[in-house]
Amino acid sequence: MKAPAISGRSIYDRAQELAFPRYPGTVGDRRAIEIVRSWFEAAELEVREEGFSYDVRPAFRALRVLLLGCAALIAASALAAPDRPGVALALVTAAVLGGGVFLSWVPWLETIYRLDGPTQTVNVVGTRRARTPGSSPPVATLILMAHHDSKSQSLTLPWRAGATLAAIFGVLVLAGVELSAVFGAAMSTAVLFVPASVACAALALLATLRSGNLSPGGVDNAGAVAILAELAKNLTAEVSDEIELLFLSPGAEEDHMVGAMRWLDRHAGELRGRPVFAVNIDGAGIPGPVVLLERYGLGRRFSARMSAVARAAAAEFDMKVRGALLPPGMGVDAIPFAHRGIESLTLASGSLSPAVLAVHSRHDRGENLEPRALADVAVLARAIILHLAKVARPQADSNSAQAAPAGSRIKA
């Protein structure tokens, strides 16, 4: 099937307007909010800004303590291994469990971010309200979202990814050696201390990570917000009036997805009792295939149903897609939605390239985006929303006599 006419060049040009440093709470962030608001208003959406404040410093302090604590456990494990391999194995197991908390984005971690604080920013929401008989609720709510903030980091992506992989590799090798020793295998000092040293050095490096306001955020995430604005112009006329459409541009995604958490804390209760699906766009516009971020943390799936819809739509357009696990320790705004039982899927694009390696650095410029890659993500996002809109009505009808489907079981 031929893909619908969506102008990648128009999306690209729009993204250039947003490609400037905009870390949460800065002047650039406020400028980005105004731009996104104007785009939503031009699409004739009902627009509101939902402000919030937060303090990310406790989370960063907790993360540093966790990383350095894991490093200390690994060092102690290596020292204990020659004489007490059982104790050594217990220590490295404790380090793995502690690291697993950081890597898996367990829901209770959200409590760290619920306090108000010095950083103030906004979630920008554009709504096409449903038109239903009387005061009936919408038959479904479909959410398209893309965060508008950006950040730079003291460690660029190759360093962060390399350190994370080195820590995981070192710990696993060390645990394997110690497990063998428990069963009587001989081990040398080098076999113990090389992987332990690698893991400890990597964790210590990750503990130095700092965020700043140097990145123009072209790939992350100006291209995605431009796609959101482009789709807002068209989808309101294509989706049944009985379905509520929300175009959400959260703030503070770059500070551990605080904006998405706050929006859900405020609105999740309003979404109960009907099908709700969320399509998140993040990291779109890098040359290459469309990427479906289907799993996160230690392998938890976002939504098998939405993945199947996306793959079927891509096949109709002869579009290349590939599924991916969101790398451990990395976050996207779909994660808080998954924690509340809302089916979601994140669309990105591209493969390993200089544009990917530039993310979270001053080199993540708007010109790193490619119009065709932007158009592909936009076409696929539109197709997913239109398919969900078609199936939502019969699904909503069945809800009157049956329990709500998986996409509707909203947790407070």
Give the span between the Cα atoms of 166 and 375, in whole angstroms: 36
Domain identity same for 238 and 279? yes
Pair 123, 86 in one domain: no
407 assigned to some structural domain:
no
pLDDT at 412 (0 to 100): 47
Of the chain, the end-to-end C-alpha distance in Å amounts to 41
> What Cα–Cα distance (Å) separates residue 67 from each residue in 62, 304, 400?
9, 33, 49
Indicate whether 244 belongs to any domain. Answer: yes
Does 161 lie in the same domain as 257? no
Q: Is residue 404 part of a domain?
A: no
For residues 165 and 104, give the distance between their C-alpha atoms in angstroms, rounded to a whole number: 15
Residue 318 and residue 389 in one domain? yes
* pLDDT at residue number 408: 45
Same domain, 258 and 315: yes
Give the residue from 145, 177, 206 where a domain finishes. Answer: 206
Q: Which two tokens stand for residue 46?
A: 């009902």
The reported pLDDT for the residue numbered 114 is 87
Same domain, 99 and 126: no
So what's the pLDDT on residue 399? 52
Residues 298 and 371 in one domain: yes
Phi-psi region of 104 (alpha: psi -120 to 50; beta: other; left: phi over 0): alpha
Pair 396, 139: CB distance under 8 Å: yes
409 found inside a domain: no
* Cβ pair 219, 286 in contact under 8 A: yes
Which helix (DSSP H) or strand (DSSP E) does residue 396 occupy?
A: helix 371-399
191 and 283 both lie in a single domain: no
CA atoms of 290 and 279, how far apart (whole Å): 14
DSSP SS3 for 229: helix
Asked if the structure places residue 100 within a domain, the reply is yes
* Tokens of residue 204, six digits: 């210590």
Cβ(269)–Cβ(410) below 8 Å? yes
Q: How far apart are CA 103 and CA 301, in angstroms?
A: 15
Residue 80 lies in a domain: yes
Give the domain-ending residue among 206, 236, 270.
Answer: 206
Residue 190 structural domain: 59-105+156-206
Total Cβ atoms within 10 A of residue 331: 18
Same domain, 257 and 296: yes
Structurally, how many domains does the chain consist of?
2
Mean pLDDT split into 10-residue runs, the chain, 412 residues: 76 98 98 98 97 93 92 95 92 88 78 92 97 84 98 89 90 93 83 94 95 97 98 93 96 96 95 95 96 90 96 94 87 95 96 90 96 97 95 61 46 53
pLDDT of 185 reads 83
Q: How many CB atoms lie within 10 A of CB 129?
A: 12
Residue 17 domain flag: yes
Q: What is the CATH number of the domain that holds 361?
A: 3.40.630.10
Same domain, residue pair 313 and 328: yes
Beta bridge partners of 244: 141
Same domain, 145 and 179: no
Whether 278 maps to a domain, the answer reads yes
For residue range 125-152, list pLDDT tens digits in order: 999 999 887 778 899 999 999 999 999 9
Same domain (yes/no): 76, 98: yes
